[in-house]
Amino acid sequence: MTERLPGRLEGADELRVTPPFDAEAETRVAPDEREAEDPPAPPADSAPPAEHAPGRLVIPDGVGAFVGMPSGVRRSVGIVVSRYNGDITTKLLEGALGALTAAGVQRDRIDVLQVPGAFELPLGAMALAKSRRYACVVALGCVIRGETPHFDYIAAEAASGLQLAALETGVPVVLGVLTTENRAQAEARAGGAHGNKGEEAASSALEMADVFARLRAVTAAPGPSAA
């Protein structure tokens, strides 16, 4: 089986800079534009599939609102990326770097830490976050289902370990790990028909860094008592 490749992680010197993730455009994709490799639609009498809805949130007037923007100005970003399925993770890395630089992050303020596989992403992310050098950490990997339960362990440990790294350190750590049934689904989400999840992850990381900065700016200043 050639589905899973420990492969090489290429350098990302020549980047394709693409615009940041457009949530509205994403929600406008018609069902018939979806890829043929996606699972077939369930029968009409079963529950409808949950729709991805990254779109807009409206916060009503009259409350305090903290809303982050994916701005990279004066921010340093750590990226941890796994070498396993390196042809895919190289594209996720290119997408992330493109989104970060498009958002204003200077290239010399981005550090990339390579790890062998997705299982090692949490430890790498934790190390980056604990260094206190980065406003946020982006974790990139690709786990493709094989014939054994290995997939489930690696995917679940990567996701929960990355969350732990964020919760333990308070530094935003975002999940840019593809978990797919096959290579075609992974390719479609690494610069193919379904966009580039590396870009989305990078944008989410900057948004989290920004909303935390806004919260800190207010909570650090003396304000009205909670009592």
Enzyme catalytic residues: 150
The reply to whether 199 sits near ligand INI by the rule CB under 6 A is no
Smallest distance from ligand INI to CB 84, Å:
3
Smallest distance from ligand INI to CB 146, Å:
5
The terminus-to-terminus CA distance of the chain in angstroms comes to 64
The nearer residue to ligand INI, 52 or 150, going by C-beta atoms, is 150
Cα gap 123→87, rounded to integer Å: 22
Cα gap 158→172, rounded to integer Å: 15
In this structure, what token pair is assigned to residue 98? 């493109």
Smallest distance from ligand INI to CB 89, Å:
8
The nearer residue to ligand INI, 85 or 185, going by C-beta atoms, is 85
Site string for ligand INI, 143-172 (x = CB under 6 A): xx-x---xx--x------------------
CA dihedral over 183, 125, 111, 102, signed as positive or negative: positive
The nearer residue to ligand INI, 135 or 138, going by C-beta atoms, is 138
Count of positions on this chain that bind ligand INI (CB under 6 A): 17
Instruction: Please pick, from the candidates 80, 82, 134, 139, the single residue that binds ligand INI as defined by CB under 6 A.
Output: 82
Instruction: Please pick, from the candidates 7, 20, 68, 117, the single residue that binds ligand INI as defined by CB under 6 A.
Output: 117
Instruction: Please pick, from the candidates 78, 85, 88, 178, the single residue that binds ligand INI as defined by CB under 6 A.
Output: 85
Strand order in the sheet with 77-82: 110-115, 77-82, 136-144, 173-180
Nearest to 161 by CA among 193, 190, 183, 129: 129
C-alpha dist (Å) from residue 139 to 1, 185, 209, 215:
27, 19, 15, 24
The reply to whether 4 sits near ligand INI by the rule CB under 6 A is yes
CB neighbours (10 Å) of residue 109?
16
Binding site for ligand INI (CB under 6 A): 4, 82, 84-85, 116-120, 141-144, 146, 150-151, 154
